[in-house]
A and B are shown apart, each in its own frame.
Chain A
Amino acid sequence: MSFLTDIAWRAGSTAASLWDAGNQLLYPSLRLGVTGLARSGKTVFTTALVHHLVEGHALPALRASAQGRIRRGRLDHQPDDVIPRFPYEEHVAALTEERRWPRSTERISELRLDVEYERAPGWRQGPATLTLDIVDYPGEWLLDLALLDTDYRDWSRRTIESSRRPQRHEIAAPWHASLAAFDAAGPADEVVAERASEAFKRYLAALRAGPEAVATTPPGRFLMPGDLAGSPALTFAPVELERDVPIAPRTLAALMERRFDSYKNKVVKPFFSEHFQRIDRQIVLVDVLAAVDAGPAALAELEDALDQVLLTFRTGRASFWSNLFSPRADRVLFAATKADHIHHTSHDRLEALLRLLVQRATRRTEAAGARVGTVALASVRATRETSVRQGWETLQAVAGTPEAGERVGEEIFDGETEAAIFPGELPERPEAVFEGAIPPGSLRFPRFRPPKLPASATARPGRLPHIRLDRALEFLIGDHLL
């Protein structure tokens, strides 16, 4: 049965790509897949990208911009009328006026950007327009893509196994207690199911608030339910199942399995096929520094979660036929975000760390024929670089306004004072971080508030500084601006 639905789903998605390809001929557009787990900076990246293109700022490493061929960028009506618009103006106002980061994204939104440019000298000349479609969504939801290829039994086993790891012992204890009291072979009682699901949700929330600090365990809608809060598709939990014993009908386990399947088919699959299946270029944002800050266990968890998620994306060399039947991302850029938290002399090490983190995904993507790049970037640069001389020592530090409540050593910040922060030294050998060779407390990356922009004479918003955003753009869309 599931085989049949799978085939039907695939046929449907092929039809959708054909329809899309037809549209593509009439109105060429480029879908940019901004992917990243929660708090990796998707919203800020999208906002900064739109900001620079719409305001027409110089982006030296974007060749079309350096050659002065970009005439203007403007926001256009988005193609889907039922999806909220990406509140770009609101985000820019939050960044520039209130100096706060946009709140975490709770629902999906979409944006279409037209870039008008002059073609590079060649046999096709003159003005042209590139249409960019960007989707913003809660990063938690991305985790669900890892569920697409699993079934309930498998997922239950893995989730329970990973919760029994010694580091999670304390966090998972309440859930384990409720799990032990749960009778999978009992009658399918709604109240019991709800209680089990509640306990599981509390565990997931505690996991995110815990020392690992990165949400990496699906299902993501349990953390960020969107419009589906309380619906049956979101009321299930893993249970312990005997190996090789089929799930009997009308038991609690059978109810859970059915709900897991409908979560997969009615929530995750539409989300995936509507927004991720037909992307042309992909950028994967990874907050490496936060994971390093949280320790080797968090890094390993992040690596695993990223790998699971990226497995579901179709990448590879794009051709005419692949565009028609199964579109692929032919360029994938891995970006370590928040590079402004360290001095640029350490950016190489940050990048090396990122490469190690996504090594498996990189190999796979390259083998499929797609181009892979890595970059350490900051979509909005919140700090300035400084060198600090204290006694005989000179430290390469960054200066900015740490957020209220951030703590470095004995200092606790109030969100108003500026400070120069030396975050410690990233190791020369990236493997050292995974091996746990970094003594705890030798690295600290506090969060900074967005930068204070110099007041401009006109009422236009100031230029948000960035690090290597232009390079990332050149890799992602540069060849479409020729």
Chain B
Amino acid sequence: MTRQPRAFRLDDPEVVTVRADQDVPERGASVVVTEEPMEAIEAADRALVPVGERRGFSWGGVLLSAVGALVLLALGLGLERLIADLYVSAPWLGWVALALALVALVAFLAIVLREAAGIFRERRIEKLREAAIDAVAVRDHEAARRVVRALIALYGERAHTAAGRKRLTAWSEEIIEADDRIALAERELVAPLDLQAKRAVANAAKQVSVVTAVSPRAIVDVAFVIFAAVRLLRRISMIYGGRPGLLGFLRLARAAFGHLAVTGGVAIGDSFVQQVLGLGLAARISAKLGEGVLNGLMTARFGIAAIAVCRPLPFLREEPPRLGDVASELLSNAERESSLR
């Protein structure tokens, strides 16, 4: 049955008006009108205001480029001298040196190309995320369609996404809300990757905590934590479709650390108590075990930041991963062990 339109006069003695934070009186009125806050609509819209970060011209960059060019020139000159000298002493030696230099050049070019391709791919993913945020913010339907198309292209070569891609293509002409459309793509294409990424983070966190707990020297811990973080970041980037080379990796790492700094290292919606409690319990048992849990948590946090940086879409309908999701095993392990003692 549909509900009929009706009006309630607010000055009617039968009508009681309360604010949202007040209690509803038990008696005295047949109709209770609860005023909702004015910002309810803005809150419901989830106005996403992305922080643009673009770097401008910097003298440091100029310095580096100039010095790099000088070093390259010196190298070239040295090489030329070397080859000329070798040629003088024995012509065949000169030819061998020249061939080697050519092989080295080809390899260098290949590496540069690979690095550039990796960076371009990363930028593509970042652009996609920004475009998705924009499309959702202004409900731009054409932009949403473009985002979904780009996402389909990005994952076009992965066999296991075929079913999801097919469904998305079938929906591409339907009239769907801009954010719904992107949320559909999120569910079909990105959500399975989220699972993989979470698993990778959980594994890395576990490894780090175990290795820290048994390692004999602090320097080994530190080395392993760094090594694990590097591997984790690469792994997550690969999961979401990036192929970072060295430079791309450095970019990503900077972004991930930046993200960590912005979120204060605490993923949204986390119960801080849980972290402190788990840690406190573990630390009471043994300092080493506590350190292990702490390092594991740190790795997990870094992993969450890495997910946020590498993911081609913002978290729309899917829950962003929380520390509890990726490190729950860690924490519960610690609690269990403490209860055993």
State whether A61 and B36 are in contact (beta carbons under 8 Å apart), knowing that A397-B8, A425-B2 are contacts in the complex.
no
Does B142 reach chain A (CB closer than 8 Å)? yes
Does A344 reach chain B (CB closer than 8 Å)? yes
Within B239-275, which residues are at the interface with A (CB < 8 Å)? Answer: none
Does A373 reach chain B (CB closer than 8 Å)? yes
A contact residues around B38 at 8 Å (CB): 384-385, 465
State whether A417 and B10 are in contact (beta carbons under 8 Å apart), knowing that A121-B56, A389-B32, A468-B41 are contacts in the complex.
yes
Does A200 reach chain B (CB closer than 8 Å)? no
Does B213 reach chain A (CB closer than 8 Å)? no
Does B80 reach chain A (CB closer than 8 Å)? no
State whether A424 and B52 are in contact (beta carbons under 8 Å apart), knowing that A61-B45, A384-B36 are contacts in the complex.
no
The CA-CA distance from A462 to B199 in the complex, in Å, is 53
Cβ A399 vs Cβ B35 within 8 A: yes
Q: Mark A395-418, 1 if CB is under 8 A from B, else 0.
A: 101010010000011010100011
A contact residues around B175 at 8 Å (CB): 352, 355-356, 359
Does A83 reach chain B (CB closer than 8 Å)? no
Q: Nearest Cβ distance between residue A472 and chain B, in whole angstroms?
A: 8
Cβ B9 vs Cβ A471 within 8 A: no
A contact residues around B340 at 8 Å (CB): none
Q: Nearest Cβ distance between residue B25 and chain A, in whole angstroms?
A: 11
Q: Nearest Cβ distance between residue B130 and chain A, in whole angstroms?
A: 12
Of the candidates B4, B24, B140, the one whose C-beta lies within 8 Å of that of A424 is B4
The CA-CA distance from A448 to B274 in the complex, in Å, is 50
Cβ A388 vs Cβ B8 within 8 A: yes
The CA-CA distance from A213 to B137 in the complex, in Å, is 34
A contact residues around B5 at 8 Å (CB): 408-409, 421-424, 441-444
The CA-CA distance from A374 to B42 in the complex, in Å, is 17
A contact residues around B143 at 8 Å (CB): 371
Q: Which residue of A lies closest to B175 (CB)?
A: A355
State whether A387 and B34 are in contact (beta carbons under 8 Å apart), knowing that A359-B175, A373-B138 are contacts in the complex.
yes
B contact residues around A393 at 8 Å (CB): 3
Cβ B41 vs Cβ A66 within 8 A: no
Q: Mark B31-51, 1 if CB is under 8 A from A, else 0.
A: 111111010111011010100
Does A3 reach chain B (CB closer than 8 Å)? no
The CA-CA distance from A117 to B126 in the complex, in Å, is 27
State whether A397 and B33 are in contact (beta carbons under 8 Å apart), knowing that A418-B9, A421-B5 are contacts in the complex.
yes
Does A420 reach chain B (CB closer than 8 Å)? yes
The CA-CA distance from A154 to B36 in the complex, in Å, is 54
The CA-CA distance from A439 to B5 in the complex, in Å, is 12
Cβ B137 vs Cβ A474 within 8 A: yes
A contact residues around B52 at 8 Å (CB): 63, 67, 120-121
Cβ A60 vs Cβ B42 within 8 A: yes
Does A20 reach chain B (CB closer than 8 Å)? no
The CA-CA distance from A1 to B315 in the complex, in Å, is 61
The CA-CA distance from A471 to B46 in the complex, in Å, is 12
Does B59 reach chain A (CB closer than 8 Å)? no
Most buried by A among B8, B9, B15, B177: B8
The CA-CA distance from A136 to B89 in the complex, in Å, is 88
Cβ B47 vs Cβ A61 within 8 A: yes
B contact residues around A120 at 8 Å (CB): 52, 54
The CA-CA distance from A371 to B49 in the complex, in Å, is 20
Cβ B44 vs Cβ A422 within 8 A: no
Does B339 reach chain A (CB closer than 8 Å)? no
Does A372 reach chain B (CB closer than 8 Å)? yes
The CA-CA distance from A471 to B48 in the complex, in Å, is 11
Cβ B36 vs Cβ A385 within 8 A: yes
A contact residues around B41 at 8 Å (CB): 344, 347, 385, 467-468
Within B78-137, which residues are at the interface with A (CB < 8 Å)? Answer: 137
Does A192 reach chain B (CB closer than 8 Å)? no
Does B11 reach chain A (CB closer than 8 Å)? yes
State whether A66 and B140 are in contact (beta carbons under 8 Å apart), knowing that A386-B34, A420-B10 are contacts in the complex.
no
Of the candidates A61, A66, A387, A420, the one whose C-beta lies within 8 Å of that of B7 is A420
Cβ B9 vs Cβ A417 within 8 A: yes
Does A79 reach chain B (CB closer than 8 Å)? no
The CA-CA distance from A4 to B52 in the complex, in Å, is 53
Does B322 reach chain A (CB closer than 8 Å)? no
A contact residues around B137 at 8 Å (CB): 61, 471, 474
Within A344-401, which residues are at the interface with B (CB < 8 Å)? Answer: 344-345, 347-348, 351-352, 355-356, 359, 362, 366, 371-375, 384-391, 393, 395, 397, 399
Chain B contact residues, CB within 8 Å of chain A: 2-11, 15, 24, 30-36, 38, 40-42, 44-45, 47, 49, 52, 54, 56-57, 137-143, 175, 177
